[in-house]
Amino acid sequence: MPRPSPFVVPVGEMLRHPGRARPVRIETPVDWAVESFSARSDPPLRADLGLTAIPGGIVIRGSVELTIASTCVRCLTETDRIHRVKVDQLAEIVDEGDDGYVLAGDLLDLEPIIRDEVLLALPLLARCDPPCRGLGEDPETGLNTAAPGRRSESPFAILRDLLDAGD
């Protein structure tokens, strides 16, 4: 018998009593990836959510935290960062053809909601740092670090040398 998903939560009792709320804590590894981003399984995803029943659905609010691995598109440095995302969504009791998150019976699958929020919050391009300068002419030298024997990466270093020579 397959193990039930940690993302599936029973909400049948809540739906019969609008206004009822309950906390949900999920801690599980995930294997989500898109472009140059992927979720690390260690440490696992942690979600602290509050579910509130309303007429016709469930409101999901809370936060999600997981570690995202990425490769900088400029300097090709691999980095791991903790990624925090706020969740504020509605799962509705509607016909199957409608858009949005649909409740299937008395069970709510939080995985598509959390996954969408996490992946949509990622930047378009992976960068190791906002001031990342990329790769240099030598494939073994990045512009983010000084090469051996070089004084400065600044384009104005030669002017500083001229001012120093005039003293």
Mean pLDDT of 46-65: 95
The structural domains of the chain, with segments of one domain joined by +, span 8-132, 133-167
More confident residue, 42 or 159: 42
What is the per-residue pLDDT across 68-108, written as a single tens digit (0 to 9) for each?
A: 999 888 788 888 999 999 999 999 887 665 677 878 788 89
What is the per-residue pLDDT across 124-148, written as a single tens digit (0 to 9) for each?
A: 888 887 667 666 555 555 556 655 5
Give how far Cα 140 sits from Cα of 76, 77, 135, 146, 147, Å.
11, 12, 8, 12, 10
Mean pLDDT of 42-62: 94
The average confidence (pLDDT) of the chain is 83
Query: Which pLDDT band, with edges at 50, 70 and 90, does 65 fall under?
Result: very high
